[in-house]
Structure 1
Amino acid sequence: MSDAVPTPPDASPTTPSEEAAASPTASSAPSPEAYDDVPVEAWSGVHRGPLRAGEWVRLTDQKGRRHNICLEPGKTFHTNRGGMAHDDLIGREEGFTITSSSGGEYLVFRPLLAEFVVSMPRGAAVVYPKDAAQIVAMCDIFPGAHVVEAGVGSGALTCSLLRAVGPFGRVTSYERREEFADVARKNVGQFFGGPEGSDHPAWNLSLGDLAEELPRSGVRADRIILDMLAPWECVEAAADALLPGGIICAYVATTTQLSRFVETVRLHGGFTEPQAWESLVRDWHVEGLAVRPGHKMIGHTAFLVTARRMAPGERAPRKTRRPAPGAYGADYTGPRPADVPAE
Structure 2
Amino acid sequence: MTEPTGAARRRGPFQVGDQVQLTDPKGRHHTITLEAGKSFHTHKGAFSHDELIGRPEGTVVRTTGNTQYLALRPLLPDYVLSMPRGAAVVYPKDAGQIVTMADIFPGARVVEAGVGSGALSMSLLRAVGDHGALYSYERREDFAEIAKANVERFFGGPHPAWKLTVGDLQDNLAETEVDRVVLDMLAPWECLDAVSKALVPGGVLICYVATTTQMSTTVEALREHGTFTEPQAWESMVRTWHLEGLAVRPDHRMIGHTGFLLTSRRLADGVEPPLRRRRPAKGAYGETEVPEKPKPGRFLRMAEEQED
| TM > 0.5 fold call | yes
Which deviations, in whole Å up to 9, do the C-alpha atoms of 1:186-227 show, x marking residues without a partner? 000000001xxxx2110000010001111xx14321000000
Q: Could you say which residue in structure 1 is the equivalent of 2:250? A: 293
Moved over 4 A (4+): none
Is the counterpart of residue 312 in structure 1 residue 269 in structure 2? yes
**How many residue pairs are counted as aligned between the two chains?**
288
Stretches of structure 1 that go unaligned for 5 or more consecutive residues are: 1-37, 332-343
TM-score with structure 2 setting the length: 0.91
SS of match in other structure, 1:69: strand
The answer to whether residue 55 in structure 2 is matched with residue 98 in structure 1 is no
8 Å CA contact 2:228–2:264 kept in 1: the answer is yes
Q: 1:64 to 1:237 in 2, by over 3 A?
A: same
1:278 matched to 2:226: no
| C-alpha deviation, 1:316, in angstroms | 2.4
Partner of residue 245, structure 1: 202
Deviation per residue, 1:6-28 (Å, 9 max, x gap):
xxxxxxxxxxxxxxxxxxxxxxx
Of residues 209, 212, 220 in structure 2, which corresponds to 1:255?
212
Q: Could you say if the C-alpha distance between residues 277 and 46 of structure 1 is closer, same or farther in structure 2, counting changes exceeding 3 Å?
A: farther
Work out the CA distance in 2 between the residues paired with 1:218 and 1:96. Answer: 46
Partners of 1:224 and 1:249 within 8 A in 2: yes
Unaligned runs of 5+ in 2: 289-308
CA distance in 1, matches of 2:8, 2:31: 15
Query: What does residue 113 of structure 1 align with?
Result: 76
Q: Hey, what does 1:207 align to over in structure 2? A: 166
Alpha-carbon separation, structure 1, partners of 2:222 and 2:77: 31
**Given residue 167 of structure 1, which amino acid in structure 2 is its aligned partner?**
D
1:155 aligns with 2:112: no
Q: Give the 5 Å matches for 1:88-237.
A: 88-194=51-157, 199-214=158-173, 217-237=174-194
Q: Is the 8 A contact 1:280 1:298 kept in 2?
A: yes
Please tell me whether residue 64 in structure 1 is matched to residue 3 in structure 2: no
RMSD: 1.4
State the distance in 2 between where 1:163 and 1:312 align: 31
Provide the rounded CA distance (Å) in 1 between the counterparts of 2:81 and 2:122. Answer: 12
Match for 1:328 among 282, 285, 293?
Answer: 285
Conserved in 1, the CA contact under 8 Å of 2:236 and 2:257?
Answer: yes
Q: What is the CA–CA distance in structure 1 between the aligned matches of 2:264 and 2:240, rounded to whole Å?
A: 31
8 Å Cα contact 2:4/2:129 also seen in 1: no
Provide closer, same or farther for how the CA distance between residues 45 and 307 of structure 1 changes in structure 2, counting only shifts above 3 A. Answer: farther
TM-score computed with the length of structure 1 as normaliser: 0.81
* Distance in 1 of aligned mates of 2:9 and 2:104: 20
CA distance in 2, matches of 1:155, 1:238: 21
* Change beyond 3 A, Cα 1:255–1:147: same
Distance between the aligned counterparts of 1:282 and 1:46, measured in 2? 31
Distance 1:94 1:259, change over 3 A: same
The answer on whether the counterparts of 1:126 and 1:156 sit within 8 Å (CA) in structure 2 is: yes
Q: CA–CA distance in 2 between the matches of 1:165 and 1:284?
A: 33
